[in-house]
Amino acid sequence: MTEHKVLVVDNSPVILKIVSKALEDAGCSVQTAGDGLEALDMIMEFPPDIIFTDLVMPKIDGAKLCHIVRNTPGYEHIFLVVLSGIALEDDMNVLELGADICIAKGPGATMKKHILAALERFESGLRGSTHIEGLQGLYPREVTSELLVNKRHNEVIFERMTEGAFELDGFGRIVRANPVCCQLFDSSEAKILGNRLVDLLPEDHHLDFYTWIDNLSSTHTNTPLVFDYSDPVFLGSRQVTFTLVPIYEEDQLSVIGIMKDVTERKRMDAHKARLEKELQRISKLDAMATMAGGIAHDFNNLLTIINGNVEMAKILSLDEKVNQLLAETGKALQLTTGLIRRFSTFSDNYLPSKSLVCVDELLSGLLDNELADTDIEVQLTSDGKVSYVDLDVDLMIQVFQNIILNAVEAMQGKGLLQVDLAEIDGREEAEKTGQSITDGTFIRIRITDSGCGMDEAHLEHIFDAYFSTKQKGTQKGMGLGLTIAHAIVKKHGGLLRIDAKPDAGCTATIYLPVGRGAQSCVGSEMGNERLRVLIMDDDEIMRKVFCGMFEECNCDVTTVASGEEAIRECDEQLNAGGAYDLVLLDMQADKDGNGTGPAKAIADRSPATMLVAMTEDAGHAVMQDPHAFSCAAAVEKPFSIDTVKILLNDYIRAKTQ
């Protein structure tokens, strides 16, 4: 008979001696192991041809050992013999273990006969078993049956737990693991059993585990090792909490471990934190909106008066030097008006004046202009789709200029600026990034620089008002650039996010909803007809300023202070056989605060009259849709005499068509 290498696994020294003696007498080379874990180590050193194993053993039992052997590449050839003392009480489960032969433990002589028969079966090449050998003369034991029922119940509970559960021996090796545990470790039970837990953990948790397990061995304390929610273990993309509890039985240490996947909870908490931070930012912007609205209103009233008087002075002055000074004053007023309008973007009532714009062309032109005097290389890429978006061109130029300027300063005028445009699905992007992007089609604009980047502490405050990463005293602005940019993008139904790391550049990502339609504007040449104009404003100085502007444009002007007076004046003019050509109504002067009442009343009485709404609030709804207020047009105060000429041109053009 050829010498076969046989491994005998049983926790009973008597059985080990009986089986080993029978095999050695048959000419086999025999090694023994006291449990399944020890057997796995022995297989590495002593690759057997045949394994004889008991089922009920400490640490890794015979059933798990059979499972590992049958599911481990390189072990498929091993001939498995189950030698069980519970074969009679658990015959069905024994036959499902994948063994090549099953033998019931009984008298030594009977066992020896079946052991030799198993060797002959191995040598003949027969595999698989459909019945249990050696049951003759054995009787079922009620206590054993009851214990097996209890064992099966415990196994069902262990297997069905929603948390990962495992058991370690005193050296930190895994001897038992349920399906959730295997799933969290992204491995099979056959591969996990017998491994050290520390080898499956990230390196940054090794020291904690070694220190804890060594302390248990020397002190026999009951202190658990916990990696809780605040400090979870990263297993690939999963975040997992661990609780390891030591158990001592007859001076033998074992450890019960519970794992819980908190990845989704962490994601939800992070999403909640982002929302809370966004709500805090919105609260700050709301406070600024209230302040900005008040500032804009008061300043616009003053600027309207100053601007009107400057315009009239330019017309009346014959001194060239004075006219030059007035021209410079006019430029300064325009800059001041622009600054006030920037503040107005914070207002909840501010509605951008949108038109359909090709973002590719807008960005290309801006990049050429803004980077002309730098050594920055630009890479502009897109997905090939033409990116049209409904946006307020002036406001979005302000957003892009601010981001480009920050990039130029971060790169100190030299580096690489990458701009990428792509059409994306809002829901899919939200799932990928975790950002609060609504459903629909969006244009994603990524602007990435190769600058110095920034740390997380700065990044958290990037949209806060008056926050700047620049050294105090060196910044040119007020620290409102990205705050205003965030407000502008939000008012376009989009999202602005900034990602950065120290010394790794910065990426600004803008999401804008794809446009649906465009608006258009027209103009015409000024005519010579003397028009009749009615102006309603509750500020006497403004009435005088506006009156002077329209009179300079060859108009007959009447002014009133309220909506009731405006209606009465229109009625009198109609009764006299005529009607006003233009009526300008201050939206804030009406008692209802919206100007709708007088405008509708005049429009009903005199459909031929062109109604023009006036407001110092750039965010007033009338600026977006004057027709909703029964008006043909709307102008923002302060306005220049050029605006007066445009209104008169529009009236004459409409009348002649």
Question: How sure is the predictor about 566, in pLDDT bands with cuts at 50, 70 and 90?
Answer: very high
Does 67 have pLDDT greater than 60?
A: yes
What pLDDT sits at residue 145? Answer: 67
What pLDDT sits at residue 473? Answer: 45
Residue type (1 letter), 167:
E
Measured CA to CA, the distance from residue 43 to residue 477 in angstroms comes to 73
Q: 301 Cβ partners below 8 Å, 6+ apart?
A: 539, 542, 616, 637
532-542, pLDDT tens digit by residue? 999 999 888 88
Does 48 have pLDDT greater than 80?
A: yes
The residue-averaged pLDDT of 545-573 equals: 91
Measured CA to CA, the distance from residue 79 to residue 305 in angstroms comes to 102
The residue-averaged pLDDT of 225-252 equals: 91
Question: How sure is the predictor about 595, in pLDDT bands with cuts at 50, 70 and 90?
Answer: low
For the record, the structure tokens of 546 come out as 């506006």
pLDDT above 90: percentage of residues in the chain? 29
What pLDDT sits at residue 374? Answer: 85
Q: Which runs of consecutive H residues, i.e. helices, occur in 418-535?
A: 426-433, 456-459, 481-491
The residue-averaged pLDDT of 266-283 equals: 78
Measured CA to CA, the distance from residue 427 to residue 442 in angstroms comes to 10
Does 524 have pLDDT greater than 70?
A: no
Q: How many CA atoms lie within 13 A of 514 on its CB side?
A: 14
Name the more confident of 338 and 23: 23
Name the more confident of 342 and 320: 320
Give the Cα-Cα-Cα angle 46, 52, 57 (nearest 5 degrees): 100
Go through the domains of the chain in sequence order and give each one's CATH number: 5-143 (3.40.50.2300), 161-261 (3.30.450.20), 271-344 (1.10.287), 355-513 (3.30.565.10), 531-656 (3.40.50.2300)
Give the Cα-Cα-Cα angle 35, 36, 39 (nearest 5 degrees): 90
Does 601 have pLDDT greater than 50?
A: yes
Please tell me the least confidently modeled range out of 40-49, 99-108, 239-248, 635-644: 635-644
Name the more confident of 306 and 301: 306
Name the more confident of 577 and 557: 557
Does 287 have pLDDT greater than 70?
A: no
The highest-confidence range among 144-153, 517-526, 539-548, by mean pLDDT, is 539-548
Question: How sure is the predictor about 478, in pLDDT bands with cuts at 50, 70 and 90?
Answer: very low
Q: 521 Cβ partners below 8 Å, 6+ apart?
A: none
Q: For residues 425, 428, 434 and 438, what is the CA-based torsion angle, rounded to 10 degrees?
A: 40
> Cβ(16)–Cβ(32) under 8 Å?
yes
Does 229 have pLDDT greater than 90?
A: yes
Q: 231 Cβ partners below 8 Å, 6+ apart?
A: none
